[in-house]
Structure 1
Amino acid sequence: MNGRFVLHDHRKPRPHFDLRLEEDGVLRSWAVPQGLPTDPGRNRLAVAVPDHDLDHLTYTDEHKSIADTGWWEEHDRTDRRILFTLHGRDDAVRYALIRTDRDWLLHRVKDQ
């Protein structure tokens, strides 16, 4: 599966990032309080939030800016994990979203 993605830098109500992946005509969305993990093997909490309309791919306002955008590529999916690559403005990075009992973990995969 390939679709577009956007990473919003969202400053209200508390600073966090929103990861949005295009799928089935909507943007599946997760709030990531500490931002995407920058080091391989690192995890970040990712809280699933309601789906957003596709117009959020380009949406900005005084509290929300676009930190990165591009397309994403799914490699594998189970009920508890999605393995994918974000192909952003500057590079391509592989991540896994892993479902826990309450939320998700966003994990940066070691080898590209």
Structure 2
Amino acid sequence: MPEAPLFVVQLHDARRLHYDVRLEVDGVLKSWAVPRGPSLDPTVKRLAVPTDDHSIEYAEYEGVIADSKYGSGAVIVWDAGVYTNLTLDKQRRRIDPAEAIDRGHLKVRLRGVKLTGAWAFTRTDQDWLLVKVRDDDADPSLDLTITEPRSILSGLTIEEMAATRA
């Protein structure tokens, strides 16, 4: 049985602080910049702006990207784990994640250190929305972006990572 595909959420302090949500699809990390981070509240729709695909190796990257490069700034691995594709077509057959992205709707179950449960990515006219699915892991009263600011790898906050460059 093949291993489950990975996901990673990197907190990135570039031009603006945002969360890069990345899913392993066809050997690369499909990526969306989510300015306010994932929400556990199913009534909250978070903007998710598609960004360039990244290599799988980038899933473990933490550090400070030099000022001269695209996306410069501090990066921490805020969360990571594996996911299960839950996307179904009208006949209730599983749709490949790449095809689901092409169609504009992908539903996944995350099993991470911080994030668990199902989320849906849905394309709008120009961008995407990331929404928590109503399930046992939904919790409108909890904001993990505030209560859990540290990297799951280094234990550093984004500010502490930025200070390592000084």
Q: TM-score, normalised by structure 1?
A: 0.93
Q: Aligned-pair distance for 1:90?
A: 4.1
The partner residue of 1:3 within 2, 5, 30 is 5
Picking from 34, 37, 42, the partner of 1:35 is 37
| Corresponding residue for residue 83 of structure 2 | 72
- Partner of 1:102, secondary structure, is coil
Counting only pairs closer than 5 Å after superposition, residues 49-64 of structure 1 correspond to structure 2 as 49-62=51-64, 63-64=74-75
Aligned length: 112
Contact 2:80 2:113 in 1 (8 A): yes
1:84 to 102, 108, 118: 108
* Residues 1:48 and 1:91: Cα distance change in structure 2 (over 3 Å): closer
Percent identity between matched residues is 38
Q: Which residue identity lines up with residue 82 of structure 2 in the other structure?
A: W
Tell me which protein shows more helix as a share of its residues: 2
Letter matched to residue 37 of structure 2: G
Q: CA deviation at 1:91?
A: 5.0
Flag as ranges the 4+ runs of structure 1 deviating above 3 A.
none
List per-residue Cα deviations over 1:81-109 (Å, max 9, x = no partner): 10101110145221000000100000111
Please list the CA deviations of residues 34-66 of structure 1 after superposition, one character each: whole Å capped at 9, or x if unmatched.
Answer: 100121232100000010011111001130001
- What are the ranges of 5 or more consecutive residues in structure 2 without an aligned counterpart? 65-73, 88-94, 137-166
Q: TM-score, normalised by structure 2?
A: 0.64
